[in-house]
Amino acid sequence: MSGELVAPRRLANARGPGAAAAARRRIDEVEDRVRAWVTLLDPEEGTSGPLAGVPVGVKDIVDVAGVPTRCGSATRADAPPAERDAAVVRMLRAAGAVVVGKTVTTEFAFFDPGPTRNPWDPARTPGGSSSGSAAAVASGAVPLAVGTQTAGSVIRPASFCGVAGLAVARGSLPTDGVSPLAPGLDTLGLFAATVADVAEARAALGGPAVADPGTVRLAAWDGTQVADVTPAMQQAHATAVDRARAAGIVVDAWPVDMRRAAIDQRTIMAAEAAATIPDAPGLGPKLRELLAEGRAVPSGELAAARERSAATRAEVLEHLRSVDAVLAPGALGVAPPGIDHTGDPAMSRPWHVLGLPALAVPGARDADGLPLGLQLLGHPEREDALLAAGRHLEDLLRA
């Protein structure tokens, strides 16, 4: 592992005047090995607000005024500068945050990777599609970064890079100024060093204040019904369940079969991407494969997938009224070797299609010390309970 590349910074220690300049210095130290950034901007002084002076990285499918939004694609090499900030960037600036640059994304937020390396081991993927945002936070370049998720594009890179990541409930943050992949699935996300920092940033963007609930109730889903979860991740999940129960947290078994939802997510994503992104020369092979797959989806099959997802969502929301969150693997295991791929989003697919908020919780490690990110899934109307449960879980994982 490259320990000198892993240095996430807490919000409390990276704000105010001079914080943006400090971020630029850290980027200069590590960028040749991490390669998380597409464009860097001149540092600004901090302003007033709950995020006064906090340096922020913004995924390069999200508009920043005066900077081209290239979406990680050669087809947008000549894109003109964005005329105005995306809505979420305007909200960050209004809260006092300072945008220091654009972070690497996979091509149009799908699977064709960019150049970013995992700070824990540059020979491993950082995940995707919000690869640059997760790596920028893990490497200590910025304490906060913006990402997006359509399948597992916040949770998986957060899990691989050992940081906290929140994919907000679909529709709870505006996506104006965000280049779409599958508009019915796309949502925004935040990366930070800890769950507490993610919660603070989310509150600054209009999210709920998070208080200690006193008691927490969870359900556990180990992911094995939809994919081959590695033994190390299965052990990390089982250990988290054991520690939660030892701390007095009630942990129930999750009763809903999630297999069909995982399949429906892929169907919907492929069909919507094919209707959104032109199949132009120069696109990467993984994206072109998705677009071909999407064009072949019959309209009746797409409608059926959406109907099933709506029915599953109703069933899942009913169960989420009696627990604060579902505890699940954030990925199949640690970040796999190689940078020509971004890993498998199987642990996120069945949940994301339902529009739920998802929270990557750092703290677990494998025998070699690599991150094994777990995740919590919550009710869209109880994001405060999700974040409070995440703070409890993080404390238990780091104990």
pLDDT-based confidence at 164, cuts 50/70/90?
A: very high
Q: Kindly state whether residue 71 falls inside one of the protein's structural domains.
A: yes
- CA 360 – CA 90 distance, rounded (Å): 25
Q: Kindly state whether residue 167 falls inside one of the protein's structural domains.
A: yes
What confidence score (pLDDT) does residue 1 get? Answer: 54
Region 270-277: what's the mean pLDDT?
Answer: 98
- Mean pLDDT over the full length of the chain: 96
CA angle 200/47/360 to nearest 5° reads 25
- CA 164 – CA 180 distance, rounded (Å): 24
pLDDT in tens, 207-265: 988 877 778 999 999 999 999 999 999 999 999 999 999 999 999 999 999 999 999 99
Region 342-364: what's the mean pLDDT?
Answer: 98
Q: Quick one: which of 15, 180, 2, 195 has its CA closest to 92?
A: 15
What confidence score (pLDDT) does residue 254 get? Answer: 98
- CA 239 – CA 392 distance, rounded (Å): 14
For residue 137 the two structure tokens come to 């936070």
- CA 312 – CA 69 distance, rounded (Å): 35
pLDDT in tens, 88-104: 999 999 999 999 999 99
pLDDT-based confidence at 332, cuts 50/70/90?
A: very high
Q: Kindly state whether residue 348 falls inside one of the protein's structural domains.
A: no
* 172 a catalytic residue: no
Q: Kindly state whether residue 42 falls inside one of the protein's structural domains.
A: yes
What confidence score (pLDDT) does residue 265 get? Answer: 98
What confidence score (pLDDT) does residue 43 get? Answer: 78
What confidence score (pLDDT) does residue 125 get? Answer: 98
Q: Is 113 exposed, middle or buried (0-12, 13-18, 19+ CB in 10 A)?
A: buried
Q: Is 115 exposed, middle or buried (0-12, 13-18, 19+ CB in 10 A)?
A: middle
* 139 a catalytic residue: no
Domain hosting 194: range is 3-204
Inter-CA distances, 67 with 79, 99, 111, 149, Å: 9, 11, 24, 22
Pure H helices in the chain: 19-34, 87-94, 131-138, 155-161, 195-204, 231-246, 259-276, 285-295, 299-320, 349-352, 383-398
The answer, yes or no, to whether residue 201 has pLDDT greater than 90, is: yes
Catalytic residue among 73, 130, 139, 153: 153
The answer, yes or no, to whether residue 289 has pLDDT greater than 90, is: yes
Q: Kindly state whether residue 69 falls inside one of the protein's structural domains.
A: yes
pLDDT-based confidence at 2, cuts 50/70/90?
A: low
Q: Kindly state whether residue 193 falls inside one of the protein's structural domains.
A: yes
For residue 334 the two structure tokens come to 């640690």
Query: Per DSSP, what are the bridge partners of residue 101?
Result: 40, 57
* 286 a catalytic residue: no
The helix/strand/coil state of 99 is: strand
- Cβ contacts of 214 within 8 Å, gap of 6 or more: none
Cβ atoms of 188 and 209 closer than 8 Å: no
For residue 256 the two structure tokens come to 């809903």
CATH number, domain of 47, equals 3.90.1300.10
The answer, yes or no, to whether residue 149 has pLDDT greater than 80, is: yes
pLDDT in tens, 25-45: 999 999 999 999 999 999 777
What confidence score (pLDDT) does residue 209 get? Answer: 86
Catalytic residue among 73, 129, 139, 159: 129
- CA 117 – CA 263 distance, rounded (Å): 29
Work out the percent of the chain whose per-residue pLDDT is above 70. 99
285-295 and 259-276 are packed helices; what angle lies between their axes, rounded to 10 degrees? 100
- CA 188 – CA 173 distance, rounded (Å): 7
Q: Kindly state whether residue 372 falls inside one of the protein's structural domains.
A: no
What confidence score (pLDDT) does residue 57 get? Answer: 98
Q: Kindly state whether residue 293 falls inside one of the protein's structural domains.
A: no
Question: What b/e string do you get for 50-82 counting C-beta neighbours within 10 Å, with b at 16 or more?
Answer: bbbbbbbbbbbbbbbeebbbbbbbebbeeeeeb
- In degrees rounded to 5, what are phi and psi of residue 118? -80, 125
- CA 46 – CA 83 distance, rounded (Å): 23
Residue indicated by tokens 């939660």: 244
State how many domains the chain has. 1
pTM passes above 0.75: yes
Work out the percent of the chain whose per-residue pLDDT is above 90. 94
Rg (CA), the chain: 19
| Cα 376 to chain centroid, rounded | 12
Q: Quick one: which of 53, 60, 18 has its CA closest to 36?
A: 60
- CA 59 – CA 51 distance, rounded (Å): 18
| DSSP symbol at 13 | G
Region 179-193: what's the mean pLDDT?
Answer: 98
The answer, yes or no, to whether residue 55 has pLDDT greater than 60, is: yes
Region 48-58: what's the mean pLDDT?
Answer: 96
